């Protein structure tokens, strides 16, 4: 815990480049929005105008709010939290929400870019260029990397999708090749592990003399040559009527809800719809009209009126993200304990541990998923 006269690392070191997992920027987004929401009068007018100008500037390819007052206001209230010198933010390990990217780029007045890579490929394989404000993409391959997209027929992702007028891009499983790809998973020659042996055979392939790692991620290439990660084979669930729900895609949309701190989409192949578990943003819950002022978080999460309000907002952000009806969660479960690495619900880089979360909240899931 910091004492009053102590600075955080970012404020003390004043970095030029800030690298963080999307979950960190999600928290920044929620915290700053909550702070701005509390503003009144002329301050609120200036903040709202600054955000609007920043969003328009983003769409034009710029970074930050425009005008005379808003940029100074945001620098004083927000950018100094990271030392005031940040010139670019880079994120990876999970998708970054479009609204989060635009908002953070606006209030910090610097490019916010996504990268992509894996441990097996020595991390960075792709990274968005600073001058490109395109969203939901991780940029072109780095010079060290060779990327192929392999058809995945089961999920209906194929290279031939480039000829489909509704898609217009090659799609498939992302294979990464090049000198930075590891030799495989370590195995003790004296005590071979059948599981590791099988993984080394399945997840590494050689094509035209180049060794590739099979990532399990589903990608597509834009006309500009940027890679977009659109699905993950393990995160796709086939519903009762045959539609595929991409769990992470739905979660990325729901992150835009003001009530969401952390979401996890859940679906069964025996059902025709999906649901979502949400660790809520408590101040936003308490701001819902009619919310009992003395209620505990647990009581709020079980309150039908609160659940209804959150469900309506989730439906709205899913519609804005243009999710199909079957992709939009039909029911919402509010969780009164935040998932963290400490309670083993998240990995060290803030990724969801789906199975542990599902096991912990099995009763709540079964209560609504009928």
Q: Sign of the CA dihedral 300, 302, 304, 307? A: positive
| Burial (0-12, 13-18, 19+ Cβ within 10 Å), 243 | middle
Ranges of the chain whose pLDDT falls below 50: 1-2, 4
CA–CA separation, 132 vs 116, rounded Å? 16
Q: At what angle do helices 98-108 and 70-77 cross, to 10 degrees?
A: 100
- pLDDT at position 6 is 63
Query: 18: Cβ–Cβ under 8 A, 6 or more apart, which residues?
Result: 10, 82, 86, 88, 89, 90
- pLDDT at position 5 is 58
Q: Is residue 32 left, alpha or beta, with left meaning phi > 0 and alpha meaning psi from -120 to 50?
A: alpha
pTM of the model: 0.78
How many secondary structure helices (H) and strands (E) does the chain include? Answer: 12, 14
């Amino acid at each position: 815990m910091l004492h009053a006269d102590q600075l955080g690392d970012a404020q003390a070191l004043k970095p030029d480049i800030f690298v963080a997992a999307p979950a960190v920027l999600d928290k920044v987004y929620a915290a700053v929005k909550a702070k701005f929401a509390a503003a009144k009068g002329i301050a609120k007018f200036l903040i709202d105008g600054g955000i609007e100008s920043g969003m328009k500037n983003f769409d034009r390819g710029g970074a930050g709010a425009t005008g005379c007052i808003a940029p100074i206001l945001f620098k004083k209230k927000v950018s100094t939290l990271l030392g005031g010198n940040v010139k670019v933010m880079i994120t990876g390990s999970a998708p970054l929400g479009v609204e989060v990217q635009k908002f953070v780029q606006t209030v910090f007045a610097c490019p916010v870019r996504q990268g992509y890579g894996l441990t097996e490929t020595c991390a960075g394989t792709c990274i968005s260029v600073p001058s490109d404000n395109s969203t939901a993409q991780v940029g072109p391959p780095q010079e060290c990397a060779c990327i192929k997209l392999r058809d995945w027929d089961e999920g209906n992702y194929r290279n031939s999708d480039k000829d489909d007028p509704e898609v217009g891009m090659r799609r498939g499983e992302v294979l990464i090749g090049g000198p930075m790809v590891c030799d495989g998973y370590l195995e003790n020659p004296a005590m071979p592990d059948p599981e590791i042996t099988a993984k080394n055979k399945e997840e590494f392939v050689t094509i035209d003399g180049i060794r590739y790692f099979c990532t399990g991620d589903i990608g597509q290439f834009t006309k500009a040559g940027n890679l977009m990660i659109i699905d993950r084979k393990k995160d796709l669930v086939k519903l009762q009527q045959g539609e595929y729900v991409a769990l992470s895609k739905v979660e990325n949309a729901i992150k835009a809800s003001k009530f969401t701190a952390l979401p996890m989409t859940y679906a069964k192949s025996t059902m025709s719809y999906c649901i979502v578990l949400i660790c809520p943003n408590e101040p936003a819950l308490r701001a819902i009209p009619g919310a009992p002022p003395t209620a505990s978080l647990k009581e709020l999460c079980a309150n039908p009126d609160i659940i209804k309000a959150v469900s309506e907002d989730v439906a709205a952000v899913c519609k804005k993200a243009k999710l199909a009806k079957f992709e939009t969660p039909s029911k919402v479960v509010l969780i009164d304990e935040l998932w963290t690495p400490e309670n083993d619900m998240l990995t060290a880089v803030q990724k969801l541990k789906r199975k542990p979360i599902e096991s912990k909240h099995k009763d709540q899931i079964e209560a609504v998923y009928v």
